Structure 1
Amino acid sequence: MTATTVHPPEPLEPATLSLAREATARATRHLLDRQDEQGWWKGDLETNVTMDAEDLMLRQFLSIQDPATLEAAARHLRSEQREDGTWATFHGGPPELSATIEAYVGLRLAGDRPDAPHMAAASAWVRERGGIAGSRVFTRIWLALFGWWKWEDLPELPPEIIYLPKWLPLNIYDFGCWARQTIVPLTVVSAKRPVRPAPFPLDELHIDPRRPNPRRPARLASWDGAFQRLDRALHAYHKVAVRPLRRAALRSCARWIVERQENDGCWGGIQPPAVYSLIALHLLGYDLDHPVMRAGLASLDRFAVWREDGSRMVEACQSPVWDTCLATIALADAGLAPDHPALVKAADWMLDEQVTRPGDWSVRRPGLPSGGWAFEFHNDNYPDTDDTAEVILALRRVRHPDPERVEAAVRRGTRWTLGMQSSDGAWGAFDVDNTSRLPNRLPFCDFGEVIDPPSADVTAHVVEMLAHEGRAQDPATRRGVAWLLAEQEADGSWFGRWGTNYVYGTGSVVPALVAAGVPGSHPAIRRAVRWLESVQNEDGGWGEDQRSYPDRQWAGRGASTASQTAWALLALLAAGERESKAVERGVTWLAETQEDDGSWDEPYFTGTGFPWDFSINYHLYRQVFPVTALGRYVNGEPAVARPRRS
């Protein structure tokens, strides 16, 4: 008889790994199906109803309202109203006074009667909270445009601020780029103090329309007291401003605004500066047929998302570069071939989006050659270090048929990013050393963060990119690493400036530190691991509510979400915790909560515009980050091409 060789059976794949492979395959197919034929990805960028209400008020102010837009916007506003008659600024958040006032006005413009039950509930709640007088400055500016509030009872900011030299405190370059783009046109509006006939009264939103609630004066020896007195002085100056100087300042503001209009007509790729710029220019004599105005108004329509139910949501911004680089990273880490046509097409599109001319950042870095990437389709004035770092990481994952083109783009982007390092060794998003706290003190600036100091999440992405570019030992990278280690919170987490919040910060920093050579056994990494394990939810996922910004007790607390679970997993995997129970539970949660089409449902807002004041639901976050985390769990750490050395 012939002997038969018996081979031992193949070991069974662990159940969690098998689940992860299947979930990764489904999610990869779903993400590939969402790519635009030009190569980019873009998910909806959902914020809050003030975008929609202010769009309607702009159209009313310029007399360009149309019934279809009005009804579609009203349908969206009604869908976001809660049972108590209020509106919040993020899913599941508390009611917010200014958002409720603005949404109410939007519905009044759409024809909703003030005695309708949903409107009466809203106005009653507003009165209980102090009425219009208790709302933010920007809300009252909008109401002043129609005579529903007095210009004299608003903080003053004169257009002459445009002339303050760059070394003097409170010059326009002391403000973050988003605030700068908003404040310059608003100084024009504040100087002109226009009032268009109100289409209806708003007495139902006042406690007493004749007596707005004044702020109690603060102590003169305090910052608030000093700035309150400065505001009084600026109000007095408004009455006696030298007319030739005022006219010259208004012309300079107009020129500044027009010079920063993008090729597609928008300003900075952001809706709010576009809205205020259009109002300012119109007040300065630009009629609606002027090319600048026509292009600007056309750009606003591109911020609108029309939905199948007939509603219309206005995006505050659009994120195609950010979404595309994150999708490229996700697909590559999930195992897609580096020369896959989808990745090559994405790389081509990203290469075409590199910014090659100077912008506002060059005020602080005049000799630095350009080479960054922006967040939006069109925003050559304001590229940012965060997008630039992630685009470079994405490009290195693609085997492009023209490697020299990639090398040249990466060299330019890396050089620009290194040149944007702040003096403390870290990186802000848009500007260098944009750290003066004085702009935040102005009574005019109560709409959220108005400066752009370095943050842990942005610095981490830059450090990770530099490490993968073979620069882990460069002095610039080491300074960034030292800054990150010093910024760790006592509990082991890191604050997340542009994502919510400590889970995002920690999920960004740990992979960066490990990429830069910090071992997984380092005390900082161990503290981060312990913190993530301590805040894991019972269901195996991770979540964090926006309330963690004003209240530290919410850190790491919230309903589990796909994006935040992925961030936690990215940190744990980088720290060498692949076999841990926490990772197994997190991966299982992602696999078991996946929809049949390969996507995840995520109503919660996990992105951040201004901490607490402006929250974002990036609709693609729920896809790209789980794919990245599952891919790294299945395939190990990403294979990133190293730069070629000549």
Structure 2
Amino acid sequence: MAFAVAGHSQAKISPGLLARAREAVEKSREFLLRRQAVEGHWHFSMEANATMDAQYIFFNRLHGREKPAEEKRLGLHLLATQGADGGWPLFHGGPGHLSASIEAYFALKLLGYSPEDEPLRRACEFIHGQGGLAQAQVFTRFFLAFFGQFPWEGVPALPPEIMLLPDRFRFSIYNMSSWARSTVVPLLILGQHRPRVVIPAEQGCAELWVGSEVADDFSFPPAEETISWKNFFVQADKVFRLLDRLPTSWRRAGLERALHWVLERQDCNGGWAGIQPAMINSVLALRAMGCAANHPAVVAGLEAIDDFLVERDGHLLFQPCVSPTWDTALIVRGLLDAGESPDSEAVTSAVRWLEKAQIRREGDWAVKRPDLPAAGWAFEYANDFYPDVDDSAVILMSLHLAGRADTD
């Protein structure tokens, strides 16, 4: 049999290979149909890197709650994902990454592991070889500073007066991406209040400094990429430090606006923007602004955060987000391409679920596009303020293939 590939001449496929391919397609189809939720959608776990597990441990300490069983298992997952070079990578099989390794190391110290333990010795050597704590990235510096492990002089300035900037200004929050905005706004509060957890010296990570315990210069050169978090903070830090000279009344106004912004953007499931950084920062920001542990927004936020814990291959890990609409749209398209009928129960129930997931309320996008009708989809179960182009496009293509071209 000949197999046509766009832009190429037909390639011949042996009958044996074709038979195995058909068998693989059928097995995949059967597997996916077994995994479909009763509501009609699909959802598979999402693994990121060591910073997720580490930051869950940091968060519990900062919030003042105890989760010993979960943290013990997260610690075992951290040990299981340490790379051969002693560090922790940003992606499976990749080289060790300095900041991810610092966070993993510090989290293990908080769990009671000793710097003399073999995994931590190897990690310390890797971190020293990369320049130590002085070379940590921005968000890692924030977490370390919350525990007194990094001087605040080395953390970029993020004054809450940013909330008062007009939308047209370069550093307005509405010129950030949605995930950056939802992460940075609560960080404005945390950077001002600077919550502090006092830990025993043996749980700290002073041994990760290279040369001296405290570096004289914490600046870092701009990243090679034109658009990056590092470049944003490098440029913004120079401007934002000038805002320290503004009247304190402006600072109070900025803090209040940031607090209201966070409260107004909490989703129905208690989360923010459907992502871990925004959720963790928002709960901590609410506490820093005086919200009690039993405040409804805090309680709901904690539930949303804990919902990101998932079992996978015998390990407990902390997900950065969840992806039901994305998973469902891609699987619907795959099933249809594999010959599944658009009228099958699997496809029709998935289509119904996707149609119900469409977001009909205005989100932050309306600041820039006030006349655009609300009709997109987000990546997650609950993320009404931030539908995105990627999910909306893939879902529309799947609905079209399923015979729903007339959908609104």
- Cα distance between partner residues in 2 of 1:230 and 1:42: 38
Give TM-score, length-normalised by structure 1: 0.57
- Cα distance between partner residues in 2 of 1:374 and 1:169: 26
- Map of 1:120 onto structure 2: 121
Aligned pair in 2 of structure 1 residues 171, 196: CA closer, same or farther (>3 Å)?
Answer: same
Q: State the Cα distance separating 1:314 from its structure 2 match.
A: 0.8
Aligned pair in 2 of structure 1 residues 320, 228: CA closer, same or farther (>3 Å)?
Answer: closer
1:102-157 deviation per Cα after TM superposition (whole angstroms, max 9, x unaligned): 00111111111111111111112212221111110110110000110111221112
User: Letter of the aligned partner of 1:286 in structure 2?
Assistant: C
Q: State the Cα distance separating 1:169 from its structure 2 match.
A: 1.3
Alpha-carbon contact 2:171-2:236 (below 8 Å) kept: no
User: Letter of the aligned partner of 1:287 in structure 2?
Assistant: A
Aligned pair in 2 of structure 1 residues 335, 312: CA closer, same or farther (>3 Å)?
Answer: same
- Cα distance between partner residues in 1 of 2:397 and 2:331: 11
- Map of 2:209 onto structure 1: 206
- Cα distance between partner residues in 2 of 1:216 and 1:89: 20
Whether 1:297 and 2:302 are equivalent positions in the alignment is yes
- Map of 1:70 onto structure 2: 71
Q: Secondary structure at the match of 2:317?
A: strand
- Map of 1:345 onto structure 2: 349
Whether 1:131 and 2:137 are equivalent positions in the alignment is no
- Aligned counterpart for 1:372 among listed residues 364, 376, 379: 376
- Map of 2:150 onto structure 1: 149
Alpha-carbon contact 1:40-1:349 (below 8 Å) kept: yes
Aligned pair in 2 of structure 1 residues 35, 244: CA closer, same or farther (>3 Å)?
Answer: same
- Map of 2:251 onto structure 1: 246
- Map of 1:32 onto structure 2: 33
| Gapped regions of structure 1 (runs ≥ 5) | 1-11, 412-646
- Cα distance between partner residues in 2 of 1:188 and 1:323: 35
- Map of 1:333 onto structure 2: 337
Aligned pair in 2 of structure 1 residues 397, 123: CA closer, same or farther (>3 Å)?
Answer: same
- Map of 1:324 onto structure 2: 328
User: Letter of the aligned partner of 2:378 in structure 1?
Assistant: A
- Map of 1:387 onto structure 2: 391
Equivalences for residues 219-234 of structure 1 within 5 A: 231-232=237-238, 234=240
- Cα distance between partner residues in 1 of 2:43 and 2:57: 25
- Map of 1:95 onto structure 2: 96
Q: Secondary structure at the match of 2:310?
A: strand
Q: State the Cα distance separating 1:60 from its structure 2 match.
A: 0.7
Q: State the Cα distance separating 1:396 from its structure 2 match.
A: 2.5
1:182-214 deviation per Cα after TM superposition (whole angstroms, max 9, x unaligned): 111111111122222124332111122233443
1:375-402 deviation per Cα after TM superposition (whole angstroms, max 9, x unaligned): 1000110111221121122222335xxx
Alpha-carbon contact 1:157-1:190 (below 8 Å) kept: yes
User: Letter of the aligned partner of 1:76 in structure 2?
Assistant: H
Alpha-carbon contact 1:156-1:234 (below 8 Å) kept: yes
Q: State the Cα distance separating 1:18 from its structure 2 match.
A: 3.0
| Gapped regions of structure 2 (runs ≥ 5) | 1-12
Alpha-carbon contact 1:134-1:213 (below 8 Å) kept: no
- Map of 1:286 onto structure 2: 291
- Cα distance between partner residues in 1 of 2:182 and 2:233: 22
1:12-60 deviation per Cα after TM superposition (whole angstroms, max 9, x unaligned): 9944433332222121111111111111111111110101101100101
Alpha-carbon contact 1:133-1:212 (below 8 Å) kept: no
Whether 1:313 and 2:314 are equivalent positions in the alignment is no
Structure 1 moving runs of 4+ over 6 Å: 223-227
- Map of 2:269 onto structure 1: 264
- Map of 1:273 onto structure 2: 278
Q: Secondary structure at the match of 1:312?
A: strand
- Cα distance between partner residues in 2 of 1:230 and 1:297: 31
Aligned pair in 2 of structure 1 residues 298, 212: CA closer, same or farther (>3 Å)?
Answer: farther
User: Letter of the aligned partner of 2:160 in structure 1?
Assistant: P
Q: Secondary structure at the match of 1:306?
A: strand
Alpha-carbon contact 2:86-2:122 (below 8 Å) kept: yes
From the CA coordinates, give the structure whose radius of gyration is larger.
1
- Map of 1:189 onto structure 2: 190
- Cα distance between partner residues in 1 of 2:232 and 2:310: 44
- Cα distance between partner residues in 1 of 2:221 and 2:334: 53
- Cα distance between partner residues in 1 of 2:259 and 2:187: 11
Q: Secondary structure at the match of 1:45?
A: coil
Alpha-carbon contact 1:303-1:318 (below 8 Å) kept: yes
* Identity over aligned pairs, percent: 38
Q: Secondary structure at the match of 1:277?
A: helix
- Aligned counterpart for 2:241 among listed residues 235, 240, 250: 235
User: Letter of the aligned partner of 1:280 in structure 2?
Assistant: A
Paired residue total: 387
Q: State the Cα distance separating 1:241 from its structure 2 match.
A: 3.8
User: Letter of the aligned partner of 2:240 in structure 1?
Assistant: L
Alpha-carbon contact 1:359-1:380 (below 8 Å) kept: yes
Q: Secondary structure at the match of 2:55?
A: helix
- Cα distance between partner residues in 2 of 1:359 and 1:227: 26
- The Cα RMSD (Å) is 2.3
Alpha-carbon contact 2:360-2:374 (below 8 Å) kept: yes
Alpha-carbon contact 1:262-1:378 (below 8 Å) kept: yes
Alpha-carbon contact 2:270-2:301 (below 8 Å) kept: yes
Whether 1:356 and 2:357 are equivalent positions in the alignment is no
- Cα distance between partner residues in 1 of 2:42 and 2:237: 45
- Cα distance between partner residues in 2 of 1:230 and 1:59: 30
User: Letter of the aligned partner of 1:48 in structure 2?
Assistant: N
Q: Secondary structure at the match of 1:396?
A: helix
- Aligned counterpart for 1:215 among listed residues 219, 233, 236: 219
1:88-115 deviation per Cα after TM superposition (whole angstroms, max 9, x unaligned): 1111211110010000111111111111
Give TM-score, length-normalised by structure 2: 0.89
- Map of 1:634 onto structure 2: none
Could you say which structure has the greater relative contact order, defined with CA pairs below 8 angstroms and 6 or more residues apart? 2
User: Letter of the aligned partner of 2:255 in structure 1?
Assistant: L
Q: Secondary structure at the match of 1:313?
A: strand
